[in-house]
Each structure stands twice: as C-alpha cells, then as structure tokens.
C-alpha cells in the first residue's frame, strides 16, 4: 500500500485525483506494475489507476488474464474498475479508503456480490485507510481553496 500511496501522491502532483495502484505477484512478492490516476493528462475517462496498472501488467505478461495477482489501490474501486478487475480475473483486491459516493465494492452496486459478476476476487479493505483518505481530503480541500 505504501507504493500505491506514492503513486497517488505523484498523481496529485500532476493535478490528478490522488489514487494509486500496484499489482504484485503474491507468490514471489514481485511488484509487476504501479500507476496513478491519469484521466486528465491522458484525455481518457477510463485512465483510473486500477485500469492503468492492469493495462501495464497485461501488456508485460502478454495476457489480459491476471489470475492469482493482487491489486492494491488507495481507494475503493468504482463500478468501471470493479468490472475490469472481474474481467481480468484478479485474485485479490486490497484497498485503502472506502468511497461512499463512487465505490462499487462495499458501497453502491457492490459489484462482486452481484449474481451477474463472473469472477469475484478476495477483497480486503481499510489498509492504511486513514492515510489514503487524508490524501484525498487534502487534495480536494486545496482545490477548493481551503486550508488543509
């Protein structure tokens, strides 16, 4: 999660919403990819950190199936990202802060609990949640011109 937080801070420094993601191989502990949010710079509404890191790792592996890998992300994935996670067959998702407005894992549609969901990863939430939430709150507070 610390690497994902570094990617989130880099995204914030670039003016993007501070969300970071990492994919690792739990069998070896190897970090296979890291990404931060990038929709603004990429002019791409799908350039969320989760999507970006899955694209990286899928290209590196030459396979869109990322079975048995772990995705670590600083914020609860949205519905779009949850759908992509399911299609990629990610084995485990670890996230930091919950997202009551846009999250789709424990909030909103609870994507992985739906009977139409073809693949359900193991999910662990709340890892470094306060640090992840504080980063987001500080970013948006600064954008609104309020003191942190």
Structural domain boundaries, residue 67: 1-136
101 in a structural domain: yes
Residue 127, domain member (yes or no): yes
Residue 78 labelled as part of a binding site: yes
Q: Which CATH number covers residue 93?
A: 3.40.140.10
Domain presence at residue 125: yes
At 143 the pLDDT is 85
Q: What is the pLDDT of residue 144?
A: 86
113 within some domain: yes
What pLDDT score does 39 carry? Answer: 97
pLDDT in tens, 85-118: 999 999 999 999 999 999 999 999 999 999 999 9
pLDDT value for 145: 80
Tell me, what's the pLDDT at 133? 96
Q: What residue ranges of the chain have pLDDT lower than 50?
A: 148
Count Cβ atoms within 10 A of the Cβ of residue 119 and give its class: 0-12 exposed, 13-18 middle, 19 or more buried. Answer: middle
In a domain, 15, yes or no: yes
Sheet holding 92-97, edge to edge: 30-36, 20-25, 70-75, 92-97, 122-124
Query: What is the Cα–Cα distance from 27 to 10, expressed in whole angstroms?
Result: 28
Q: Is 98 a catalytic residue?
A: no
Instruction: Please tell me the predicted confidence (pLDDT) of residue 148.
Output: 45
Domain count, the chain: 1
Count CA atoms within 13 Å of residue 125 on its CB side.
13
Consult the annotation and say whether 48 binds a ligand.
yes
Q: Of these residues, 6, 50, 76, 98, which one is catalytic? A: 50
């Amino acid at each position: 999660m610390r690497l994902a937080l570094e990617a989130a801070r880099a995204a914030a420094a670039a003016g993007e919403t501070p969300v970071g993601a990492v994919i690792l191989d739990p069998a070896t502990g190897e970090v296979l990819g890291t990404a931060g949010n990038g929709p603004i710079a990429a002019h791409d509404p799908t350039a969320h950190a989760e999507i970006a890191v899955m694209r990286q790792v899928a290209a590196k592996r030459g396979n869109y199936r990322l079975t048995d890998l772990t995705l670590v992300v600083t914020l609860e994935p949205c519905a779009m990202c949850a759908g992509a996670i399911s299609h990629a067959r990610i084995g485990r998702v670890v996230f930091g802060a919950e997202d009551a407005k846009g999250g789709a894992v424990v909030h909103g549609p609870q994507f992985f609990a739906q009977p139409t969901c073809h693949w359900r990863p193991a999910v662990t939430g709340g890892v470094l949640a306060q640090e992840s939430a504080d980063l987001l709150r500080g970013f948006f507070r600064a954008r609104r011109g309020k003191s942190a």
